[in-house]
Amino acid sequence: MKNLFQIEALMVDLLSEEDALEPCVLMETLIGSHSIGNGSGLTSNLCCADLSDSEMQRLTALLNDENACSVSSIGWTERARNWIAESAGYGVERIKSIQQLNAGKGFALLSFITDDERRFWLKATGSPNQKEFAITRLLAERAPDALPLLLDTRSAWNAWIMEDAGQSLCSDPRQTTALRATRCFVSLQARLVGSADSLFEAGAIDLRVEHLMFSIERVVDYLLYSMPRQTSTNSMPLTSSRVKELGAILHSACEELAALNLPDTVLHNDLHCDNFLVNSDRCCVTDWCVTGVGMPFLCCDDLSRATNHPVDSTQACYAEMWGGKTTQTGLRLGSLLSPYAKILAHGRWIGDHARQPAWFETYARTMARQLDRAAQNAAESGGFQ
């Protein structure tokens, strides 16, 4: 809007379905960093012949303020601005700019900058990621130094306010910083041992060894269904016989893992460099919408890739934290089982193929190929065949 029409505006909500050919959104104009107010009284003047019936109904509801307790309502950014000022201990007039990075369907991510250049973030999550609110609040209580400083939460918006925690790890390629991020995450996992019940109550996904073993047949069945549906020629789909072999390998790996009796802790399941924030004082981990509970070493390979830290050095950080002979076996099994665990973490409807979103088929096939490579590497080193 600013580039096209020189108008400062924020998106309130998406009126169209996400797959609409011509998406339509409702924008709210800003004066300075203030919104223009509510939409009361505007519905009688609407004449929107280009809107569908559903879009018109959605627009009318928004203008009538039927979602006043939501982040998708006219004037909510003004309420958010006041909330930020109150939580941060600033006068409202000291917030000089607002930047919007996400909006619509109950989601929001806004940055607020004050006149002394401090930055605060407001994040809200909608379906299917509502659980990130409760999980973030729990982790901030249990390991406050490993997450951005949480200033306040608002259940009605499923939202929370954070103090800025620095730049993305992607912008800092130094190995010293990668090591800091690695140790931060490994330490966080160690501190969350014994928190499984609380994590489940907050909405975490069960990736403990019992559930991994129980779900093998359902995942194998889904891969047998999805592999022949591949249309891309960039890589070959796994054969049905290989998928079944991988199922047998998973059974053996889960049985070996169960015998180790390793502790369960928090798992991230979406680690990449943008989910690590670093500054001169500390490192933080963000974006916990796919949080799970399981044995810690399931995250080792993903942590190495996310931080661009060598695998052997990442394994050494785990060994330093956990110790014992079982750590090496656990790390080996974690490398093998990690792609399978991520299929379970992201596959909300495993066992009901029709309900899986289209993107998940591609994701599941990619993870299956990673599992295949991990199994081949294990076989070459004398492990599973």
241-264 residue pLDDT tens: 999 999 999 999 999 999 999 999
Mean per-residue pLDDT over the chain, rounded: 88
CB neighbour list of residue 32: distance below 8 Å, 6 or more residues apart: none
134-178 residue pLDDT tens: 999 999 999 999 999 999 999 999 999 999 999 999 999 899 999
Least confident of 101-105, 269-273, 376-380: 101-105
- DSSP code of residue 287: -
In angstroms, the Cα distances linking 178 to 173, 198, 287 are 7, 30, 18
Instruction: Specify the higher pLDDT residue, 220 or 91.
Output: 220
Q: Which residue has the tokens 């066992």?
A: 351
What pLDDT was estimated at residue 75? 79
d(CA 189, CA 133): 19
What pLDDT was estimated at residue 253? 97
What pLDDT was estimated at residue 241? 98
pLDDT band at 36 (very low <50, low <70, confident <90, very high): very low
Mean pLDDT of 61-86: 77
Contact between 262 and 295 (Cβ < 8 Å): yes
Share of the chain above pLDDT 70, in %: 86
pLDDT band at 354 (very low <50, low <70, confident <90, very high): confident
What pLDDT was estimated at residue 353? 83
What pLDDT was estimated at residue 385? 52
d(CA 253, CA 249): 6
Contact between 105 and 15 (Cβ < 8 Å): no
What pLDDT was estimated at residue 41? 47
CB atoms inside a 10 Å sphere around CB 280: 5
Q: Compute CA 47 distance to the chain's CA centroid, rounded to the nearest angstrom.
A: 39
Contact between 260 and 337 (Cβ < 8 Å): no
Instruction: Specify the higher pLDDT residue, 143 or 327.
Output: 143
β-sheet bridge partners, residue 95 = 114
What pLDDT was estimated at residue 13? 77
Mean pLDDT of 81-89: 91
Whether pLDDT at 33 is above 60: no
Token digits of residue 310: 């060598």
Beta-strand relationship, 119-124 and 205-206: unpaired
Contact between 1 and 10 (Cβ < 8 Å): no
Tell which residue, 28, 14, 43, 115, has the closest CA to residue 79. Answer: 28
Mean pLDDT of 179-188: 97
Cα angle at 237 between 233 and 238, to 5 degrees? 160
Mean pLDDT of 293-297: 97
β-sheet bridge partners, residue 102 = 109
Instruction: Specify the higher pLDDT residue, 325 or 361.
Output: 361
β-sheet bridge partners, residue 163 = 120
Tell which residue, 350, 304, 292, has the closest CA to residue 331. Answer: 304
Q: The CATH number of 167-380 is which of 3.90.1200.10, 1.10.760.10, 1.10.10.10, 3.40.50.10490?
A: 3.90.1200.10
What pLDDT was estimated at residue 290? 96
What pLDDT was estimated at residue 6? 60
Sign, CA torsion 302/308/311/316? negative
Contact between 213 and 335 (Cβ < 8 Å): no
- What is the crossing angle of helices 311-322 and 175-191, to 10°? 40
Q: In the chain, what are the domain boundaries?
A: 2-163, 167-380
Least confident of 27-36, 153-162, 192-201: 27-36
Which H helix or E strand runs over 46?
A: none
Q: Compute CA 114 distance to the chain's CA centroid, rounded to the nearest angstrom.
A: 28
Please measure the distance between the N-terminal and C-terminal CA atoms of the chain and give it in whole angstroms: 57
Beta-strand relationship, 292-294 and 205-206: parallel
pLDDT band at 179 (very low <50, low <70, confident <90, very high): very high
Give the CATH class of 2-163. Answer: alpha beta
Q: Compute CA 159 distance to the chain's CA centroid, rounded to the nearest angstrom.
A: 15
d(CA 205, CA 359): 20
Whether pLDDT at 213 is above 90: yes
pLDDT band at 284 (very low <50, low <70, confident <90, very high): very high
Whether pLDDT at 207 is above 60: yes
